[in-house]
Structure 1
Amino acid sequence: MTTPGRHVYLDHAATTPMLPVALDAMTARLASVGNANSLHASGRAARRVVEESRETIARSLGCRPGDVVFTSGGTESDNLALKGIYWARRAEDPRRLRILSTAIEHHAVLDPLVWLGEEGGAEVELLPVDDKGVLDLEALRDSIARDPGSVALVSVMWANNEVGSLQPVDQVVRIAGEHDIPVHTDAVQAVGSVPVDFEASGVDALSLTGHKVGGPYGVGALVVRRDLRVSPLVHGGGQERDIRSGTLDPPAIAGLAAAIEASVKAQPEHAERVAALRDDLVRRVLEVVPDAHLHGAPTDGTGVGRLPGNAHIGFPGCEGDSLLMLLDARGIECSTGSACSAGVPQPSHVLLAMGCDPDQARHSLRFSLGHTSTAADVAALVEAIGPVVERARGVRSR
């Protein structure tokens, strides 16, 4: 059992603690006054913070400063990309009704797609994945080939938030590019965990958020090529290339830029360290619970790979929610999947898409490690998991 009062946090994929450099950058500007759209000295000072932050993010992600559109976070960025690109592309050519995505996307992508299908006249096709949670590229190729001119855009996440599998974004871009179809990627989980270079990737739009990379809540960005038309969701002052109106938040933007710069610079060492912790976690948990099993791509680097800090493990005979609460009672925090849909006892749509049956899709936990994770955290989980699984199985068998 963990030491009384000790807090073991294994849910970095939901949100990760702020990096000291990001906290310093944000708090240093909280007392400053100035609207970045004002022309006086205070306004110009606020604008300088915004534009210097934009340049920092551009250097870190391999894009141009003008490609960076600030938003309130990943959900808004996904909505802006999907709706904005779809509306603009359809306005250019009414035949462009189809949106291709995958069945394992985050709800920040899936729910806007449902809305576009019900209210916006879109024809949404969710492409299948294999048993590791990786997109079926032949299905993508075949779907586009049926009628290339009807496809408005393709949206494929860079890395899955539940099982950690990386997607073949480069091949998606290559297939879509043969027909001049823009590609959006939700890279919320990827930035700072794996190498992400916007220009080299060839994607047209990329969503990210601050609180997954050690930055503040409530701020993110859509990186989108300047030559791609995007219709705005919000109309007002015309900020951010007239794509996203609203008064900018210089302190939060400064914190976001500092977090992205620091996490991208530290990415190789960070990935090596947390992958070693993750591998140790998986090995030791499977030793304690022999019939447990890992979901997603292999951890040995074969195939397209997986996020270094992700361990998504199934525990047969258990309910994931029961396991989560039993661990929480011992001071160990993890997740049953996406925090945005947590609290609702339903099978994971990601695991269902991977071929799991509903029972299998409910018996799993996601342990995600980050920059504050330690070997002691892993040891605490290993010590607790055996008795917790035994108790959860006993409750379920009654």
Structure 2
Amino acid sequence: MIYLDNSATTRPYQEVLATYQEVASKIWGNPSSLHQLGTQASRLLAASRRQIAELLGKKEEEIFFTSGGTEGDNWVLKGVAFEKAQFGKHIIVSDIEHPAIKEAALWLKKQGFELDLAPVDKQGFIDLVALADLIRPDTILVSVMAVNNELGSIQPIQAISDLLADKPTISFHVDAVQAVSKIPTQTYLTDRVDFASFSSHKFHGLRGLGFVYIKSGKKITPLLHGGGQEVGKRATTENLAAIAATAKALRISLEKMEDFRHKTSQMKSVLQEGLAAYPDVTIFSGQDQFAPHILTFGLKGVRGEVLVHAFENYEIYISTTSACSSKAGKPAGTLIAMGVPAKLATTAVRISLDLENDMSQIEQFLTTFKIIYQQTKKVR
């Protein structure tokens, strides 16, 4: 089996699974309980929070645990919108955001908020001039993903931070789900970023656990009310075992980041060169200012899902451009926003690499692609 769908989810590290099992079996008290078991759990919860904060260069009181990236994105958009509604109701998100952002923003529009989608250029990067033109006196929130999940384009978070530097009333949110441990932390967690969302299973942690960075002093309305956990910002009993496992996964992944970037960029270059040799292949992902591990391409006349299943027959696993919306059969939203014709956009598939991949797998992929290319000759 060759797994090339790491942007959809990564395989948990064995050390992470071991931590989860140990905590779940030995430290199973409720962190909110007053007795010794609760105190033991509460201390581990605080230690895990502190470790995550230190790894990201932030304060422990700025880290809040969630169930994952979708909840984090929804919480920031809706929580900030309702918290700041009295000061304005205008929100800006980029036109290439993950559905967790776009759908939440569209829902807010139905609740009376005003929404603008910041356009991107033909390579998939935010148009900074257009973004600046969209900002109004009543703008309360700008949300931009750090690394695009469909294409791998690294958005100019520092440039956007500079644009918002003299606009302190505008909250700036970054969806960092595809960025953490893939690109340097300082490139997407600038001092101007007020909120950022993360998901554990994207960096070899477990599904069902994530966290949100909320800069000290920034206010946000809770989505969940109840027992007052997370300083009253997210009420539900903490998934302590998964939280401890996430702290370990983040530490290991950040320690391996430079090796990850070097190895995956080499594999991506070989893939890019090999696929570019075929006249009916369109490569959508670039090299400069693109994540080192994501390569999106299309085969003329062949829908993305058909190509995914063709590779699956050889036990090679890739995906259409977004795992969260792949079963809907829609063309890649990022490519459409870039002006790519819908017929071409429907051919797009995504390869997403990891340290666990190697050059022999890349060679096997290219050998298999040559076979599939010949098999689809009549369609093309």
Scaled by the length of structure 1, the TM-score of the pair is: 0.92
Instruction: Please list every run of at least 4 consecutive aligned residues from structure 1 whose deviation after the TM superposition is greater than 2 angstroms.
Output: 197-202, 389-394
Q: Percent of pairs identical after alignment?
A: 32
Partner of 2:20: 26
Partner of 1:164: 152
* Structure 2 residue 47 is the aligned partner of structure 1 residue 52: yes
Partner of 2:273: 283
Cα shift at 1:125: 0.6
1: CA distance, partners of 2:84 / 2:167: 14
2: CA distance, partners of 1:105 / 1:70: 22
Q: 1:356 aligns with which of 316, 332, 340?
A: 340
2: CA distance, partners of 1:376 / 1:359: 33
2: CA distance, partners of 1:380 / 1:286: 16
2: CA distance, partners of 1:201 / 1:265: 23
Output aligned runs, 1:1-398, within 5 Å: 7-32=1-26, 33-91=28-86, 93=87, 96-118=88-110, 120-144=111-135, 147=136, 149-180=137-168, 181-197=170-186, 200-287=190-277, 289-296=278-285, 298-299=286-287, 301=288, 305-394=289-378, 396=379
**SS of residue in 1 equivalent to 2:212:** strand
Cα shift at 1:291: 3.3
Cα shift at 1:242: 1.3
- Paired positions, count: 377
Query: Does the 8 Å CA contact 1:352/1:361 hold for their aligned counterparts?
Result: yes
- Deviation per residue, 1:259-281 (Å, 9 max, x gap): 11111121112111111111111
2: CA distance, partners of 1:81 / 1:134: 23
1: CA distance, partners of 2:57 / 2:139: 27
Q: Which runs of 5+ in 2 are unaligned?
A: none
Query: Does the 8 Å CA contact 1:63/1:199 hold for their aligned counterparts?
Result: no
2: CA distance, partners of 1:201 / 1:20: 34
**SS of residue in 2 equivalent to 1:80:** helix
Query: Does the 8 Å CA contact 2:161/2:190 hold for their aligned counterparts?
Result: no
2: CA distance, partners of 1:201 / 1:15: 29
Cα shift at 1:393: 4.7
Query: Does the 8 Å CA contact 1:337/1:366 hold for their aligned counterparts?
Result: yes
Amino acid across the alignment from 1:104: I
Cα shift at 1:241: 2.2
Cα shift at 1:226: 2.4
1: CA distance, partners of 2:102 / 2:360: 37
Amino acid across the alignment from 1:369: L
Structural RMSD (CA) = 1.3
2: CA distance, partners of 1:331 / 1:74: 28
**SS of residue in 2 equivalent to 1:12:** coil
Query: Does the 8 Å CA contact 1:318/1:393 hold for their aligned counterparts?
Result: no
- Deviation per residue, 1:138-197 (Å, 9 max, x gap): 0111111xx2x2101000000000100000011112212322111001000000100113
Scaled by the length of structure 2, the TM-score of the pair is: 0.96
